[in-house]
Structure 1
Amino acid sequence: MTATATDDAARPAAHVTRARPRPIAAWLWFVAAMVVVMVIVGGITRLTESGLSITEWKPVTGAIPPLSEVDWMAEFERYKQIPEYRNVTGPAGMTLEDFKFIFFWEWFHRLWGRLIGVAFALPLAWFWLRGAIPQGYKPRLVALLALGGLQGAFGWFMVRSGLSGQMTDVSHFWLSIHLLTALFTLGGLVWTALDLRRLADIPDARPARFNRVSMVVALVLFLQLLLGAWVAGLNAGLASDTWPLMQGRFIPEYDTTRGFWWAAAHDPFLIHFLHRWWAWVTVAALVWLGRRLRPFDRRASIAIHSAFGIQILLGIATVVTGVDLWIAVAHQAVGAILVAVTAWGMHVLGRKV
C-alpha cells in the first residue's frame, strides 16, 4: 500500500477523533443554565411591571444603560409617552428613582439575552472551525441558535404590543410565545446535551427518539405552560387568593357573553381556574412518565416527581399570598427546571425505542 493510500485510509479515523461531544455537551449544559436564569429574570421583570420601561429596541447600543442624569431623564420622558405611564404608574406618582428600578430589570433581562447569544454563538463557531462537532449535529446546533434569535425578536414584539393604543400591559399571547419559545429552547439544549454525553460514552450511539409516551406528556405539559403564561400575562394570579375554592365556589364566575372558548383565552378568572386544575392532569401525566422511567433511570423519575411536587406547592403558595414576588418567581423558576428534567426523562425513554 502506498503512503498516499495509507493517509487516505487514516483520514476518517482522524476526523472521528477530532469530534468532542463531551465538552460540547458541557457547553450546552452551561447555556441551558443561563436560559433558566433568563426565565427567572423574566419573571422578576414581569412581576415588577418593568417590561415596558424601555420603549425602543436597540440590539447593540441598547446594551449600554443611561450614563448621565440627562440620559436618564430622556429615557423617563420616552416612558411617559406610553399608556402604562399615563394610566397606571404616572397617576400613582412614579418618581425618577422608581423608574430607574423598573428600567434596571428590563435592561438586565435584555442584557442577559445578549450574553446568552454570545455564549452560544462564539463557542459554536469555535467548535465548528475546530471540526469538533460530531456528524449530524451541526443542523441541530444551528437550529438552537436560530431559536435564540427568534426569542429576542418575539420579546420585542411582546414589548411593542404594550406600547400602542390604550394597552397598559403586553399582550398575553405574545408573552406566551416569548416564554414558551424559551422553554422549548431549554428542552432542546437539554436533549442535545444528553445525546452528546451519551455519544461520548458510546461512540456508535444514535440520538434518542421522541416516542408516543413523550408526545402525550409533552402535549399535556405544553397546555399547562401555555395557561401559566396567560395567567402571567393577564395578572390572573390575582383573580383569587384562596385555594382550592375561588370566590367561595369551585368554578368561579367568568364572562360568558362571547362563549366558553373566548373566555378560555381571555378571561382571567376562567384561565386561573383552568391553570390550577389542569395542573393535576399534568401531574398524572408526569407520574405516568416517571413510572415508565423507573426500570431505566430512577434518578430521572425522582427528579420529575420532586420538581412537580415543589411546583404544585409553590403554585398554591403563590395564590394564597396574593402573588408574593419571590414565591411567584420561584414558581416560574421551578417550572423551567420541570421542563428540563422532563426532557431528561423523555430522553431516557427515547433511548429504549
Structure 2
Amino acid sequence: MTALSQTRHKELRPVRWWLIAVAAMIVAMVLVGGATRLTESGLSIVEWKPVTGAIPPLDESHWIAAFEAYKQIPQYRELNSGMTLHEFKTIFWWEWSHRLLGRVIGVVFLLPFLWFLWRGVLTSELKKRLWVIFGLGGLQGAVGWWMVASGLTKRVEVSQYRLAAHLMLALIIFAAIVWTLRRLSDRAPVLAASRLRVTSWVLLGLTFLQIYFGALVAGLRAGRVFNTWPEIDGALIPSASRLFFEEPWWRNMFDNTLTVQFQHRMTAYVLFALAIWHVIDAIRARAGNAVVNGALWLAASIAVQAALGILTLLHQVPIDLALTHQAVAIVVLTLAILQVERMKPRGAALTERQLDLAVGKAA
C-alpha cells in the first residue's frame, strides 16, 4: 500500500465507525420493533407526525387525548376495551420508542454523511452507495406508517404483508451497510471455486426468504398455533386440502396460518441442509481458511437459529425467546452477507488506485 493509500484509509476510519454505529442502531430498532409487535403496541399511536411526533404527551390532558384517539380504532374496541390509561401508556412507550429510534437513526446517518461530503472524504462510488442507503431510509419511514395505517380502520392488527415489507426493507438497508463496510477494507480477495460463490448467493437469498416467511408468521400470529414439532397439525406434511383450501391457491402462502408456518419450517430445513453442504464442499475444494471458517460459522448460526425457532414454537412465543430468535436471524443474515462478499472479486471495491486518485484530487 502506498503512502497516499495509507493516508486515505486513515481518513476512512471514521466512516467505518460511523457505518458500524448506524448498523448497530438498525439492529436495535429491529429488536424494538419486534418487542412492539409482540406486546401488540404498534397501533397505540394513530398519527404520523415526523417532526412533532418526537415529543411524547407531557401532561395528563395530552395523555388522555392520545388515549381517546386510540379508543377510536377497531383494536381498542374489539380487543382492549377494558384498558386503563396506565396500560395504554405501556404500549404507547414501546411504539414511541420505536419511532424515536428511527428518527435518531436518520439524524445519525445524515449529519455525518453531510460532514464527510463537505470534507471530500468519500469517493464517487461510495457517495452513490450512501445516497441510495439514505433514500431507502427515508422510504422506510413511509413504509412504517403505511404498515400502521393498515390497522387503523377495519383490522385489529397491521397487515402481515406490510409488516413483512417493513422488516425486509430494514434488513436490506442493514445488508447494504454491512456490504459497504466490507468493500471499504483493503484485504486481498479470496479465490474460490465458482460453485462455492453460487452456493453462497443461494444461501443469502434463502436467508432473506426465510426471514420474510418469519415475518408472515409473526404478522399472522402463526407461531401461537400448531405448537408441536416435528409434526404440524398432526403430521410431518399436512394434507393438501388443509394447506391450500383458500382460492386462489397462492393466497394460502400469505394468509393461511398452517401454510405460512409450514413453509417457514420447510425453508429452514432446506437452508440448514444447504449450509452443511456448503461446509463440506468448501473443505473438499480446499477453499482456504477464510471460506471454510465462514461456511462453518454460517452453518452453526443456522443450527442455533433452528433450535431457537423450535423452542419458541413449543413454548408458544414467549417474548424473550422470540426476540432472541429475531436477533439470531440478523446474525445469520450478517454471516451470509460476509460469506458472499469474501468470495466476490474486488473490482467494484475501492482499489488502491482509486484511493490514490481521490487523495490527489482532495489535495
Q: Give the alignment's TM-score, normalised by structure 1.
A: 0.87
Q: 1:352 Cα deviation (Å)?
A: 7.4
> What is the aligned partner in structure 1 of residue 117 from structure 2?
128
1:331 is aligned to 2:325: yes
- Aligned equivalent of 2:151, options 146, 157, 162: 162
> What is the aligned partner in structure 2 of residue 185 from structure 1?
173
- Aligned equivalent of 2:212, options 226, 230, 239: 226
1:102 is aligned to 2:91: yes
**1:170-214 deviation digits (Å, cap 9, x = unpaired):** 01111111000111111111110011123xx67xx8xxx996434
2-structure distance, mates of 1:115, 1:55 = 20
> What is the aligned partner in structure 2 of residue 33 from structure 1?
24
In structure 1, stretches of 5+ residues that fail to align are 1-12
Indicate the SS of the match to 1:137. helix
User: Does structure 2 retain, via aligned residues, the 8 Å contact 1:172–1:230?
Assistant: yes
> What is the aligned partner in structure 2 of residue 315 from structure 1?
309
2-structure distance, mates of 1:296, 1:347 = 15
> What is the aligned partner in structure 1 of residue 259 from structure 2?
270
2-structure distance, mates of 1:116, 1:168 = 29
User: Does structure 2 retain, via aligned residues, the 8 Å contact 1:241–1:319?
Assistant: yes
2-structure distance, mates of 1:292, 1:67 = 60
User: Does structure 2 retain, via aligned residues, the 8 Å contact 1:311–1:334?
Assistant: yes
> What is the aligned partner in structure 1 of residue 352 from structure 2?
none
Structure 1 pair 16/142, CA: closer, same or farther in 2 (3 Å)? farther
Q: 1:23 Cα deviation (Å)?
A: 2.4
**1:93-123 deviation digits (Å, cap 9, x = unpaired):** 2111111111111000001111111111111
Q: 1:337 Cα deviation (Å)?
A: 1.7
> What is the aligned partner in structure 2 of residue 69 from structure 1?
60
Deviates more, 1:325-334 or 1:282-291: 282-291
Structure 1 pair 299/213, CA: closer, same or farther in 2 (3 Å)? closer
**1:116-138 deviation digits (Å, cap 9, x = unpaired):** 11111111111111111134210
Q: Give the 5 Å matches for 1:194-273.
A: 194-198=182-186, 212-252=198-238, 253-254=242-243, 256-273=245-262
Q: 1:305 Cα deviation (Å)?
A: 2.4
- Aligned equivalent of 1:60, options 51, 62, 83: 51
1-structure distance, mates of 2:199, 2:116 = 34
- The amino acid that maps onto 2:331 is I
Percent sequence identity over aligned pairs: 43
Q: 1:60 Cα deviation (Å)?
A: 0.7
1-structure distance, mates of 2:116, 2:102 = 21
Q: 1:280 Cα deviation (Å)?
A: 1.0
Deviates more, 1:327-336 or 1:294-303: 294-303
Structure 1 pair 137/257, CA: closer, same or farther in 2 (3 Å)? closer
2-structure distance, mates of 1:186, 1:305 = 21
1-structure distance, mates of 2:278, 2:96 = 39
> What is the aligned partner in structure 1 of residue 359 from structure 2?
none
User: Does structure 2 retain, via aligned residues, the 8 Å contact 1:191–1:343?
Assistant: yes
Indicate the SS of the match to 2:29. helix
2-structure distance, mates of 1:136, 1:241 = 49
1:118 is aligned to 2:107: yes
> What is the aligned partner in structure 2 of residue 4 from structure 1?
none
2-structure distance, mates of 1:151, 1:290 = 35
> What is the aligned partner in structure 2 of residue 295 from structure 1?
288
Indicate the SS of the match to 1:84. helix
RMSD: 2.4
User: Does structure 1 retain, via aligned residues, the 8 Å contact 2:200–2:336?
Assistant: no
Q: 1:240 Cα deviation (Å)?
A: 1.5
User: Does structure 2 retain, via aligned residues, the 8 Å contact 1:25–1:197?
Assistant: no
Q: 1:299 Cα deviation (Å)?
A: 4.3
Structure 1 pair 28/73, CA: closer, same or farther in 2 (3 Å)? same
Q: Which runs of 4+ in 1 moved over 6 A?
A: 13-16
Q: 1:303 Cα deviation (Å)?
A: 2.9
- The amino acid that maps onto 1:87 is E
Indicate the SS of the match to 1:197. coil
Structure 1 pair 268/55, CA: closer, same or farther in 2 (3 Å)? same
2-structure distance, mates of 1:80, 1:145 = 35
> What is the aligned partner in structure 1 of residue 338 from structure 2?
344
**1:294-314 deviation digits (Å, cap 9, x = unpaired):** 625144334312321221111
User: Does structure 1 retain, via aligned residues, the 8 Å contact 2:207–2:332?
Assistant: no
User: Does structure 1 retain, via aligned residues, the 8 Å contact 2:204–2:333?
Assistant: no
Aligned length: 332
**1:113-169 deviation digits (Å, cap 9, x = unpaired):** 1111111111111111111113421000111111111111111000001111x2011
Q: 1:340 Cα deviation (Å)?
A: 1.3
1-structure distance, mates of 2:305, 2:6 = 43
User: Does structure 2 retain, via aligned residues, the 8 Å contact 1:22–1:197?
Assistant: no
Structure 1 pair 299/111, CA: closer, same or farther in 2 (3 Å)? farther
Q: 1:74 Cα deviation (Å)?
A: 0.3
User: Does structure 2 retain, via aligned residues, the 8 Å contact 1:18–1:131?
Assistant: no
